[in-house]
Structure 1
């Protein structure tokens, strides 16, 4: 299945009440059992995504704003528009918009077909720097 760019489809997921996620496109990947999902995430100033995981890699790019990205086992990173980030499969992570204004992230997920794109998890106690 492929969702065309600009459809504005809002996929239901565990983070839907905290931030706005717009699925831009979805297609099977060349690796069997995997699909590519591209999402624009908009996080209002001061809001966190909440600690969560994905069933595959996340390749992300900050399109606008300043976002603090916390990934379990890594030191926190403050990213600005034009910077990218990577999150390994199944790794807990959290994003918080530092403002001013709404942060926008473009993420491409290389995930297992049929699995939920987002699963909320318990917060990391050390802020991810462990």
Structure 2
């Protein structure tokens, strides 16, 4: 992935959360791209990013063109995958998110929360696909 595409992916993630922010509490998510490398598996890339969530920050429903492993570095994050009950993880815990699974994440702790997200995804496709609004079928 070239630099403009990395920047575009980060902007999609950050921008997709803007309409869902609580007007009373300023929340924010910062994304730091760490690694992007082609794999020995044809057509696949490994991408690793650090995602920092301010208190109350929410990453709205989205999916990825491959698998994700989310490892919580600090704080407490709640993940909602498809229509399953939410899963709450604390620092040191990890979650496997299957390819195409529509999911969201929220900082439910009192302070900042951070995750290390590792993706094994299809090459040359957007890293993030925003889910359709409620009432519509979710993208898969």
User: Normalising by structure 1, what TM-score?
Assistant: 0.83
Structure 1 gaps, min length 5 = 4-9, 126-130
Structure 2 gaps, min length 5 = 18-28, 136-140
8 Å contact kept, 1:92–1:121: yes
Select 1:85's aligned residue among 62, 71, 95: 95
Bigger helix fraction: 2
Query: Residue 2 of structure 1: CA displacement?
Result: 9.3
User: Normalising by structure 2, what TM-score?
Assistant: 0.77
Select 2:13's aligned residue among 4, 12, 15: 15
The 5-angstrom pairing of residues 1-130 of structure 1 reads 11-13=7-9, 14-17=12-15, 18=17, 19-122=29-132
8 Å contact kept, 1:38–1:106: yes
The count of aligned residue pairs is 119
Q: CA RMSD in A?
A: 2.0
